[in-house]
C-alpha cells in the first residue's frame, strides 16, 4: 500500500510516496522551502503544491511542527502564532480536496523508527529526538506512542527554549564546530536523561547522518543511536499515520 507522506519543518516541506508495508520511499523526495511567514494560508498553498507535484489523489499523512490533537494545532512552537487553534487537517483538505491525517512531526518520525528503524522491537521507554530547526521529541513506552512531548521548548538559562541553544539551527546560527555544538546538544541529552531515565534515545533529522562528527561528545549513560532513516523518518512516519 502506498501513501503520500509530508513532513513540514521550519525550513522546508518535504514529501514522497511511501510503501507503508516496507517503510521505503517509492518516489523521489520533493522539497519546497517553508514560506518565511509560515502562516496557515501560505503553508496550505505549499502543501497543495506538494500534492500537485505527485499528482496524488489518495489519503495524505502529515507531520507538523507543534502540538497536535485530533488534527488541531494546540500551540505554535516553530511556526507562526496564528496557527494556534487551527484545524490543520481541515485546512489542508480545503486546499487539496484530499483527506489529511496530521500529528506532531517528532511523533510521526518516531513511529517510523519504532516500526522499521532503530526502535523496532525495543521495549521500555524510548525517546526519539529530531534535530533540525528545533528539537522535536517523540516518546514511546513498550512501543506505544505517548503523544506531544515538546522537550525542546523547555527554557534553558538565558535561552527561551532549549532548542534555541542546542538545535541544528543554533549550530548554523552561531557558526559552531561539531565539537562546540555536540557539547551543547549533550547538555540537552543530560536533561532528558535526568528527567525521564529512558532506556534508549534515537536521533533523527538531517544532522543525525553526521553523528560520527559529534558522538564522542555525548556522555549520557543511556544508549544513543541514529534512527536509520536520517531525515526521511518524518515522511515515512507521516505516511504510516494515514494507514
Q: Are 133 and 168 in contact (CB under 8 A)?
A: yes
CATH architecture of 121-228: 2-Layer Sandwich (3.30)
The pLDDT assigned to 228 comes to: 83
Helix extents (H) in the chain: 40-54, 88-96, 105-116, 162-166, 168-173, 178-196, 233-241
The pLDDT assigned to 36 comes to: 87
DSSP state of 41: H
Rounded CA separation 235/76 (Å): 21
Task: Map residue 214 onto helix, strand or coil.
Answer: coil
- One of 3.10.129.10, 3.30.420.40, 1.10.260.30, 3.40.50.80 is the CATH number of 2-107+233-241, namely 3.30.420.40
| Residue whose cell numbers read 534553558 | 156
Rounded CA separation 92/115 (Å): 26
> What does R_g of the chain's alpha carbons equal in angstroms?
17
Q: Are 113 and 240 in contact (CB under 8 A)?
A: no
Choose among 87, 81, 120: nearest CA to 102.
87
Structure-block grid coordinates of residue 111 = 513511529
The pLDDT assigned to 24 comes to: 95
The pLDDT assigned to 19 comes to: 97
What is the crossing angle of helices 233-241 and 105-116, to 10°? 90
Q: pLDDT tens digits, the chain, 243 residues: what are they?
A: 999 999 998 889 999 999 999 999 999 999 999 998 889 999 999 999 999 999 999 999 999 999 999 999 998 777 889 999 999 999 999 999 999 999 999 999 999 999 999 999 999 999 999 998 899 999 999 999 999 999 999 999 999 999 999 999 999 999 999 999 999 999 999 999 999 999 999 999 878 888 999 999 999 999 999 988 777 899 999 999 998
Backbone angles phi, psi at 157, to 5 degrees: 50, -130
Q: How many C-beta atoms lie closer than 10 Å to residue 22's C-beta?
A: 11
- Residues forming a β-bridge with 15: 6, 30
Structure-block grid coordinates of residue 60 = 495524505
- The domain limits of the chain are 2-107+233-241, 121-228
Rounded CA separation 6/162 (Å): 26
The reply to whether 121-228 shares the fold of 2-107+233-241 is yes
What does pTM read for this prediction? Answer: 0.90
3-state SS, one letter per residue, for 23-36: CEECCCCEEEECCC
Amino acid at each position: 500500500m502506498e501513501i503520500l507522506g509530508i513532513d513540514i519543518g521550519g525550513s522546508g516541506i518535504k514529501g514522497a510516496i511511501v510503501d507503508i508495508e516496507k517503510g521505503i520511499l517509492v518516489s523521489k523526495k520533493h522539497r519546497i522551502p517553508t514560506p518565511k511567514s509560515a502562516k496557515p494560508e501560505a503553508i496550505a498553498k505549499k502543501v497543495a503544491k506538494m500534492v500537485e507535484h505527485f499528482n496524488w489523489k489518495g489519503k495524505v499523512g502529515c507531520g507538523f511542527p507543534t502540538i497536535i490533537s485530533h488534527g488541531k494545532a494546540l500551540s505554535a512552537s516553530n511556526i507562526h502564532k496564528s496557527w494556534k487553534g487551527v484545524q490543520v487537517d481541515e485546512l489542508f483538505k480545503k486546499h487539496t480536496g484530499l483527506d489529511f491525517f496530521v500529528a506532531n512531526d517528532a511523533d510521526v518520525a518516531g513511529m517510523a523508527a519504532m516500526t522499521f528503524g532503530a526502535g523496532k522491537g525495543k521495549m521500555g521507554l524510548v525517546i526519539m529526538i529530531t534535530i533540525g530547526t528545533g528539537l522535536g521529541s517523540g516518546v514511546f513506552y513498550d512501543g506505544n506512542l505517548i503523544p506531544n512531548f515538546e522537550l525542546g521548548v523547555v527554557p534553558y538559562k538565558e535561552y527561551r527554549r532549549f532548542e534555541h541553544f542546542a538545535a541544528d539551527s543554533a549550530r548554523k546560527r552561531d557558526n559552531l564546530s561539531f565539537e562546540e555544538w555536540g557539547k551543547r546538544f549533550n547538555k540537552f541529552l543530560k536533561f532528558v536523561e535526568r528527567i525521564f531515565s529512558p532506556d534508549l534515545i534515537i536521533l533523527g533529522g538531517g544532522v543525525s547522518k553526521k553523528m560520527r562528527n559529534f558522538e564522542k561528545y555525548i556522555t549520557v549513560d543511556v544508549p544513543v543511536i541514529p534512527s536509520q532513516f536520517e531525515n526521511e523518518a518524518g515522511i515515512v512516519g507521516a505516511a504510516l499515520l494515514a494507514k
